[in-house]
Structure 1
Amino acid sequence: MIDLLKEWIINIASLVLFITAVEMLLPDNSLKKYSKFVLGLILMTVLINPIIKIFNRNFNISVYSQNISRSIYDEDTAKSIEKYKEESLKNTINNFENNLTQIIGEKLKEEFNLSNNKLEVKAEYVTQESKFEIKYIKVGINSGKVQKVEKVKVNIGEKNIEEKDKLHDDIKSYLSKELKVQEKIITIYKL
């Protein structure tokens, strides 16, 4: 019994010294308020632990804390966290694509004086590398003038026909350099 009392007093004294040192090191901001709360809970646990052991000889605080942790983090919580991660990733990718579309539109207006363009960007998140990867960029160019209808050509078997001209090549090269992407993922077409 004397050994338990001695151990209890040593634990309290050690903890009080530790709490004092931590409080002295923390800056005066909102973090200090929360740390005092947590340190106070730890002190209360150390103070109450021997009293609980007197009434319950099989009491072990680590077993109780593990049981609480398990009950808080069950399968439903894990599923909810995964669902939240997926939704968050989808929203982040959508925001990334929208922001990139806006940036491309501004850059095209500044550099080539082009407006009323149709822009489409597709991106995905690469988990292994923890980065976003641009899959493709499609830019539809509208010169702003009403143009005469060009002769329609139907090519069976060809999926994507790009008109090659100087402006298209310049835009492709410019976007490739500005966005640091390969030119092959950029498609330029007339509206």
Structure 2
Amino acid sequence: MLEQLKTWIITICTAVFFITAVEMILPDNSLKKYAKFVLGLILITVFINPIVKLFDKNFDITTYTNNAVQCLDNQKFNSDFDKYKEKSINSTLEAFKLNLQQSCEKKLKEKYPNNNYKVKVDASYDKDNGKIEIKNVNVGIKEGNVEKVKKVKIDSNSKVVNNQDSINDEKTVNITTYLSSELSVSKDVIKVYKL
């Protein structure tokens, strides 16, 4: 018992000496208060370790630390991490699509100011390459202030309502070429139609 007390006192003196030396070396800035906090935790651990051993002979701080690390490495942590990663990718993808749509509408309005545009982007995340790929860009052109009337066929057998008439003229070619160069995508993924 006396030997354990002697070891404990030597450990406390060593820890205090170490903490004092570190505090003297640290510069006077905001880092110092965080370093003092960590050093205080070390000192508390040095004080408490022998007291806990009096009540629990098998207590070892290293064992508890290793158990905590293993707990973090278990399957639950990995599945939670995967869920968070998937959620993060999905929210990033949605933000990317929205920002790209707004950016395309703005650029088209600046380049071709006589029309109004509605852009819809479809994109996906390629896990293998870690990149977002643009699948298609649909550009609706509204000429003037009035929208085109949608084709509606009233019939008991009819089920389709079509409002996306593809247009193939010089304006379409110009818009497709412009967006293709701005977005660095193939012209095949860009579809221009009248609203």
Does residue 36 of structure 2 align to residue 36 of structure 1?
A: yes
Aligned to 1:121, what secondary structure does the other structure show? strand
What residue in structure 2 maps to residue 141 of structure 1? Answer: 141
2:173 alignment partner AA: D
What TM-score results when the alignment is normalised by the length of structure 2?
0.70
Q: CA RMSD in A?
A: 3.4
Does residue 188 of structure 2 align to residue 184 of structure 1?
A: yes
Assess, with a 3 A threshold, how the Cα gap between structure 1 residues 66 and 115 changes in structure 2: closer, same or farther.
farther
* Aligned residue pairs, count: 177
Assess, with a 3 A threshold, how the Cα gap between structure 1 residues 52 and 170 changes in structure 2: closer, same or farther.
same
Distance 2:184 2:28 in 1: 44
Distance 1:37 1:147 in 2: 66
Assess, with a 3 A threshold, how the Cα gap between structure 1 residues 115 and 7 changes in structure 2: closer, same or farther.
farther
* 8 Å CA contact 2:119, 2:139 repeated in 1: yes
What residue in structure 1 maps to residue 91 of structure 2? Answer: 91
* 8 Å CA contact 2:15, 2:43 repeated in 1: no
5+ residue gaps, structure 2, are 150-163
What residue in structure 2 maps to residue 50 of structure 1? Answer: 50
Distance 1:95 1:148 in 2: 30
Deviates more, 1:162-171 or 1:73-82: 73-82
* 8 Å CA contact 1:114, 1:141 repeated in 2: no
What residue in structure 1 maps to residue 177 of structure 2? Answer: 173
What residue in structure 1 maps to residue 64 of structure 2? Answer: 64
What TM-score results when the alignment is normalised by the length of structure 1?
0.71
Assess, with a 3 A threshold, how the Cα gap between structure 1 residues 147 and 55 changes in structure 2: closer, same or farther.
closer
2:61 alignment partner AA: I
Question: 1:1-34: per-residue Cα shift (whole Å, max 9, x none)?
Answer: 287357513344224423543xx24733xx5544
* 8 Å CA contact 2:109, 2:117 repeated in 1: no
* 8 Å CA contact 2:165, 2:194 repeated in 1: no
* 8 Å CA contact 1:12, 1:47 repeated in 2: no
Question: 1:86-145: per-residue Cα shift (whole Å, max 9, x none)?
Answer: 233222211111111011000110001154323110122233433322221111222227
Assess, with a 3 A threshold, how the Cα gap between structure 1 residues 26 and 113 changes in structure 2: closer, same or farther.
farther
Aligned-pair CA distance for 1:72: 7.0
Distance 1:5 1:146 in 2: 86
Distance 1:148 1:101 in 2: 21
Does residue 10 of structure 2 align to residue 4 of structure 1?
A: no
Q: Percent sequence identity over matched residues?
A: 38
5+ residue gaps, structure 1, are 150-159
